[in-house]
């Protein structure tokens, strides 16, 4: 599931997929169901029929038109190459079938750990989080240590407990960053009251809304109208942007936004993104 639009140069961004160094793990280990995002059902541990013998995708350039849009918005945060080249140093699941099931179980755990690293690394880059940099750095180093455990130890990890520790620090980082925002009062008070962490904003009309400083962690923004909205200094970790319209929206300075989230949305040349992210090829020009 190589992700178009994501920087695949792992030397520049160690928390981005480097598919050339991976054994097609997302294409084999993960399940998916026939839907608007996938053209067919696939069980976990069963290689996708589009996966070639060299672990590359046979329809990579046509994933969207062939009904595999979900593949273009998946990101392993570098877990694929970590499992392939470090956890199982070059021993792929095809040549070593006895390792396949274990490798497929290790991969999604590693993905979670790498995702945590991605967010911790971003938090460390923010000036506002300087007072908690030591704590952030310590947890980042601990997370990296966990990614280098042997397969059996990885499978025995209490990932929810570690995630809770990470999340506490990310919340602190979010609050420090968002404290500098000064949002205006939106005209729609009813909608204003709904804009919070985990909000169900599916199909919501948020066109032109001032969302600066909002906490939209885990918000459902599927098919929402966010055209010309101001989302600077907004916490967007885990927000679902599938088919949301970001045309003309300003997301500069937003925090914990990923390329995968951007790829799942619609936008145009007037959409303003953080400098670390790029406009997907499928956006209107």
Q: What pLDDT is recorded for position 2? A: 39
In a shared domain, residues 173 and 196: no
In a shared domain, residues 192 and 243: yes
In a shared domain, residues 257 and 278: yes
CA-CA distance, 7 to 24, in Å (whole number)?
17
pLDDT, one tens digit per residue, over 136-182 is: 999 999 999 999 999 999 999 999 999 999 999 999 999 999 998 86
In a shared domain, residues 173 and 215: no
Assess if residue 12 is contained within a domain: no
Q: What pLDDT is recorded for position 43? A: 96
Q: What pLDDT is recorded for position 10? A: 39
In a shared domain, residues 172 and 194: no
Q: What band does 7 get if pLDDT is binned at 50, 70 and 90?
A: very low
* Total Cβ atoms within 10 A of residue 163: 16
Assess if residue 149 is contained within a domain: yes
What's the whole-number mean pLDDT along residues 192-212?
86
Assess if residue 11 is contained within a domain: no
In a shared domain, residues 235 and 281: yes
pLDDT, one tens digit per residue, over 222-251 is: 999 999 999 999 999 999 999 999 999 999
CA-CA distance, 229 to 75, in Å (whole number)?
26
In a shared domain, residues 265 and 171: no
What is the 8-class DSSP label of residue 85? I
Residue 76 lies in domain? 19-177
Q: Which of 127, 160, 177 is the last residue of a domain?
A: 177
CA-CA distance, 160 to 211, in Å (whole number)?
30
In a shared domain, residues 163 and 194: no
Q: What pLDDT is recorded for position 13? A: 66
What's the whole-number mean pLDDT along residues 31-44?
95
Q: What pLDDT is recorded for position 181? A: 81
Tally the domains of the chain.
2
């Amino acid at each position: 599931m190589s992700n178009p639009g994501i920087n695949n140069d792992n030397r520049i961004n160690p928390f981005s997929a480097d598919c050339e160094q991976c054994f097609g793990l997302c294409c084999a280990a993960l399940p998916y169901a026939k839907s608007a995002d996938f053209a067919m059902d696939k069980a976990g541990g069963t290689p996708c029929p589009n996966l070639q013998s060299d672990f590359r995708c046979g329809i990579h350039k046509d994933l969207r038109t062939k009904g595999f849009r979900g593949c273009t918005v998946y990101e392993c945060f570098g877990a694929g190459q970590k499992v392939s080249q470090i956890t199982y140093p070059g021993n792929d699941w095809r040549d070593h079938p006895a390792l396949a099931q274990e490798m497929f179980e290790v991969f999604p755990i590693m993905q979670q750990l790498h995702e945590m690293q991605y967010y911790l690394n971003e938090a460390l880059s923010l000036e506002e989080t300087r007072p908690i940099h030591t704590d952030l750095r310590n947890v980042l180093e601990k997370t990296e240590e966990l990614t280098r455990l042997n397969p059996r130890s990885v499978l025995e990890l209490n990932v929810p407990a570690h995630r809770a520790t990470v999340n506490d620090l990310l919340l602190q980082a979010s609050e420090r960053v968002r404290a500098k925002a000064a949002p205006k009062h939106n005209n729609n008070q009813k909608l204003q009251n709904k804009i919070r962490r985990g909000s169900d904003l599916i199909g919501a009309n948020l066109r032109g809304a001032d969302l600066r400083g909002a906490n939209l962690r885990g918000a459902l923004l599927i098919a929402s109208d966010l055209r010309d909205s101001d989302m600077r200094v907004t916490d967007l970790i885990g927000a679902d942007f599938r088919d949301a319209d970001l045309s003309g929206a300003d997301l500069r300075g937003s925090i914990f936004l990923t390329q995968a989230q951007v790829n799942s949305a619609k936008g145009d040349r007037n959409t303003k993104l953080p400098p670390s992210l790029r406009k997907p090829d499928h956006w209107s020009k």
